[in-house]
Amino acid sequence: MGIDYGIYVGPYAKCLISKKADILRTRKCSNALCETKPIIGEFCSTCGSKVVNVDVPCEVDVQNRAKICALLYEALISVKIEGCHVWYSNRLCNFGTQIDSVRDFPLVEAFEKHVQADEVNAFESLFEKELNILREQYGADAVFIQWGLVGSAG
């Protein structure tokens, strides 16, 4: 068993996720005293009572990350962190650094402030169309262009 990980250092778009109320349909035991929540079958595996469908209120993301990725033709990829999606380059660019393997370590690199500003400008220029799509999907006031480290593992 292994783990996939990636580290990206460079400019990215941080997009705040909006939530909306929704209903989640789930199945549970009709016996109020039974704690079992069976998913399959017509009768509870613990007490034998009938299994019923129940609608439970919940919150879901307004923005569908897979749909947005398709709109962007995968030019940008994202990770979800609490309350936002972070979109960064899925292309080889003259900015940003991808660290994908053990051979890239140890790594020590200093970044000058002007390098960060130059890379943010290059990111905004190269991905202008994609950033406009993100602003349409999330709202212009919910998209922030930043420079830093994005780590992902799965």
Residues forming a β-bridge with 76:
89
User: Residue 57 has what pLDDT?
Assistant: 95
- Identify the residue with better confidence: 81 or 14: 14
**22-79 tens-digit pLDDT:** 999 988 888 888 877 766 789 988 888 999 998 999 999 999 999 999 999 989 989 9
**85-106 tens-digit pLDDT:** 999 998 888 888 777 665 566 6
User: Residue 58 has what pLDDT?
Assistant: 94
User: Residue 103 has what pLDDT?
Assistant: 59
C-alpha distances in Å from residue 49, one per residue of 4, 25, 26, 42, 53:
44, 19, 16, 9, 13
